[in-house]
């Protein structure tokens, strides 16, 4: 795992977008894993700008989102499909047929989960998985006690997640209590993982995820097992990290990051 600390949330989003753009330019057929949440909005805004101003091409790119609420149709304005269409898909030249989210309206949810896994495999697996982190440390909706080898499945949302996401809905009782999410094992199968977190409210959980013991209570700690994972944070989200001077030194001195400084 490598932690990169940027001075501001904008600088963090900028770096994340540039890493994605570099991967996409290197491989136009990239299979990109996507995330939702407020943190990602600034990343998608930058990708849209890179598309408009620097011709970043999404025409051959395939995407798989981490999760979707159970019981919300794609057209519902609170669905993650709607979020993705609004923030990214409708604003770049991606072929919508190449964009995938689990179907939270499927009659047979278990079958839908297995189908989603199969689709990812058929595309050759995920090349780059973008990740946010919930305040309880979840990746996607891998709530506390998610098995570290779990695959795509239905999860009941934990109270903290409900509290964190309820403000997105007009009234809290509109929020679904379950979601389909890629499993921790599904995420760990991605060839590269890129987690972004900003703001003081994430400082404690970022420190636990990066420097704490691996535990199914905090699914983000499983990223410590991943061979190629970058965690991009702003100064505020980095404030509880013990090794921040070391992480800063690596970013400033390792040739791998020359193009990004």
Q: Which of 67, 103, 189, 234 binds ligand GLP (CB under 6 A)?
A: 67
What distance lies between CA 94 and its chain's CA centroid? 18
Q: Is 133 in the site for ligand GLP (CB under 6 A)?
A: yes
Quick note: the x/- pattern for ligand GLP over 19-58, rule CB under 6 A, is: ----------------xxxxx-------------------
Stretch that binds ligand GLP, among 87-95, 104-112, 127-135, 249-257 (CB under 6 A): 127-135
Minimum separation from the CB atom of position 245 to ligand GLP (A):
26
Q: Which of 17, 31, 47, 66 binds ligand GLP (CB under 6 A)?
A: 66
Minimum separation from the CB atom of position 34 to ligand GLP (A):
9
Quick note: the x/- pattern for ligand GLP over 182-211, rule CB under 6 A, is: ------------------------------
Q: What is the C-alpha separation between 167 and 117, in angstroms, rounded?
A: 30
Q: What is the DSSP string of the chain?
A: -EEEEESSHHHHHHHHHHHHHHHHHH-TT-EEEE--SHHHHHHHHHHHHHHHHH----TT-EEEESEEETT--TTSTTSHHHHHHHHTGGGTT--GGGEE---TT-SSHHHHHHHHHHHHHHTT--SEEEE---TT--STT--TT--TT--SEEEEPPHHHHHHHGGGSSSGGGS-SEEEE--HHHHHTSSEEEEEE-SGGGHHHHHHHHHS--BTTBGGGGGGG-SSEEEEEETTTTTT-TTHHHHHHHHHH-GGGGGG-
- Identity of the residue, 19 or 220, whose beta carbon is nearer to ligand GLP in the bound complex: 220
Minimum separation from the CB atom of position 170 to ligand GLP (A):
17
Q: Is 141 in the site for ligand GLP (CB under 6 A)?
A: yes
Q: Is 132 in the site for ligand GLP (CB under 6 A)?
A: yes
SS (H, E, C) 63-103: EEECEEECCCCCCCCCCHHHHHHHHCHHHCCCCHHHEECCC
Q: Is 134 in the site for ligand GLP (CB under 6 A)?
A: yes
- Identity of the residue, 30 or 237, whose beta carbon is nearer to ligand GLP in the bound complex: 237
Minimum separation from the CB atom of position 65 to ligand GLP (A):
9
- Identity of the residue, 98 or 181, whose beta carbon is nearer to ligand GLP in the bound complex: 181
Q: Is the separation of the CB atoms in 95 and 59 below 8 Å?
A: yes
- Identity of the residue, 161 or 186, whose beta carbon is nearer to ligand GLP in the bound complex: 161
Minimum separation from the CB atom of position 215 to ligand GLP (A):
18
Q: Is 165 in the site for ligand GLP (CB under 6 A)?
A: yes
Stretch that binds ligand GLP, among 90-98, 132-140, 221-229, 240-248 (CB under 6 A): 132-140
* Residues at the contact surface with ligand GLP, assessed by CB under 6 A: 35-39, 66-67, 132-134, 140-141, 161, 165
């Amino acid at each position: 795992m490598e932690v990169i600390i940027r001075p501001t949330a904008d600088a963090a989003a900028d770096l994340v977008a540039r890493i994605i753009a570099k991967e996409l330019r290197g491989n136009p057929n990239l299979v990109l894993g996507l995330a939702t949440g407020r943190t990602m909005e600034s990343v998608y805004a930058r990708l849209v700008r890179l598309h408009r101003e620097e011709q970043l091409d999404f025409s051959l790119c395939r995407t798989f989102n981490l999760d979707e609420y159970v019981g919300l149709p794609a057209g519902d304005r609170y669905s993650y499909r709607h979020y993705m269409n609004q923030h990214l898909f409708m604003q770049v030249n991606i072929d919508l047929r190449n964009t995938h989210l689990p179907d939270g309206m499927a009659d047979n949810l278990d079958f839908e989960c297995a189908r989603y896994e199969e689709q990812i495999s058929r595309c050759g697996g995920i090349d780059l998985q973008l990740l946010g982190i919930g305040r309880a440390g979840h990746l996607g909706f891998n709530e506390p006690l998610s098995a570290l080898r779990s695959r795509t499945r239905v999860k009941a949302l934990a109270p903290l997640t409900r509290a964190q996401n309820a403000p997105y809905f007009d009234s809290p009782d509109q929020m679904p209590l379950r979601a389909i999410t890629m499993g921790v094992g599904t995420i760990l199968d991605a060839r590269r993982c890129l987690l972004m977190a900003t703001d003081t409210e994430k400082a404690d959980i970022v420190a636990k995820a990066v420097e704490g013991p691996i535990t199914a209570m905090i699914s983000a700690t499983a990223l410590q097992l991943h061979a190629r994972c970058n965690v991009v944070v702003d100064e505020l989200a980095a404030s509880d990290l013990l090794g921040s001077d070391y992480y800063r030194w690596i970013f400033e001195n390792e040739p791998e990051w020359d193009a990004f400084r």
